[in-house]
Amino acid sequence: MNGFYNVYKTPDMTSSDVVVKLRGILRSRTGVRFKVGHLGTLDPLAEGVLPVAVGSATKLFNYMLDKRKRYLATFVWGETTDTLDRAGQVTATAERVEDVERVSEAAIQQVGRIMQTPPAYSAKSVDGARAYQLARNGVEVALPPKEVTVYSIELVAHEANAFSFVIECSAGTYIRAICRDMAASMGTVGYMSKLTRTQSGEFALSGAVTLAQIEEDICAGYVSLADFAASLKCYNIDEQYRKHVENGVVYPMQIDQSYARIDVGGVPYAIGCTQEGVLKIICRL
């Protein structure tokens, strides 16, 4: 079994919990202990799309982490917590903001390439420890800002001081930090009350299934590596160069995205990328 599960992560578990549970389901159904890994952490209280790679598809991990993400997030103005979400302890209160124009202006300021400081309660590593572990122990951590890209923030609903947005952004963007920084630009505070990831790279909410559904049918939400590759841009190599590719001989090629399908003689062969103008095979089909 080599491919991906489009898992709908529920708010009652961590991303690591999903991996452990799915690995157990697959082992109980097939008798095989597959290599399993998720492709981008979701906060414990967040829900939605969590792509999970199985078998040789895990080799694509580093190449898929940079894919765009889309979220539906709800921010509440006038109160904040230590974790910047509804699970934390209230640490400050300020002006309730209910003006749509004011909020929209704050959202515009967050669009584009921005330097974003991760929340104290995050999975960032600090001297070998997770930032959230240090924060829980009362240790103040100064996390360095990181450049991220917010492609768009669209206001889709609001009620009183709670505003919901569709946000499209690069990997590594903290939605809680967008809430924090929007609030600061309005002279108030805020926290994220709900977060749903609706898209992660090629995986969308419409195709996501719960672990309970997978437990009933291990084909639910599964996309084989071959089917996944069929949706990718294709680069064909003439049959006469098959031995070169199979034996790892340097083959000049330029792929203009993070990865693509490589066909040899018109037949799907692998998923690959290029490094310094040379073909690199990531995983065979």
DSSP 128-153: TEEHHHHHHTT----PPPEEEEEEEE
Q: Could you identify the residue written with the tokens 């300020």?
A: 94
**What was the pLDDT predicted at 133?**
61
**What was the pLDDT predicted at 164?**
98
By the 10 Å C-beta count (0-12 exposed, 13-18 middle, 19+ buried), 243 is classed as exposed
Q: Would residue 43 show up in a list of annotated catalytic residues for this protein?
A: yes
Q: Are residues 26 and 80 in the same domain?
A: no
**What was the pLDDT predicted at 109?**
96
Q: What is the domain range of residue 99?
A: 69-200
Angle at 53 between CA 120 and CA 269, to 5 degrees: 135
Q: Are residues 222 and 175 in the same domain?
A: no
One-letter amino acid for residue 242 of the chain: R
d(CA 61, CA 38): 8
Q: Are residues 33 and 127 in the same domain?
A: no
Neighbour count for residue 157 (Cβ, 10 Å): 11
Q: Are residues 183 and 210 in the same domain?
A: no
For residue 80, give the CATH number of its domain: 3.30.2350.10
Q: Are residues 187 and 127 in the same domain?
A: yes
Q: Are residues 50 and 87 in the same domain?
A: no
Q: Are residues 166 and 196 in the same domain?
A: yes
pTM for this model (two decimals): 0.88
Q: Are residues 83 and 176 in the same domain?
A: yes
d(CA 261, CA 190): 44
Q: Are residues 221 and 245 in the same domain?
A: no
pLDDT by position in tens, the chain (length 285): 999 999 999 998 999 999 999 999 999 999 999 999 998 889 889 999 999 999 999 999 888 877 899 999 999 999 999 999 998 899 999 999 999 999 999 999 999 999 999 887 656 555 555 555 655 655 567 678 899 999 999 999 999 999 999 999 998 899 999 999 999 999 999 999 999 999 998 899 999 999 999 999 999 999 999 999 999 999 999 999 999 999 988 999 999 888 999 999 999 999 999 988 999 999 999
Q: Are residues 34 and 62 in the same domain?
A: yes
**What was the pLDDT predicted at 121?**
63
Catalytic residue among 43, 217, 227, 263: 43
Q: Are residues 129 and 190 in the same domain?
A: yes
> How many domains would you assign to the chain?
3
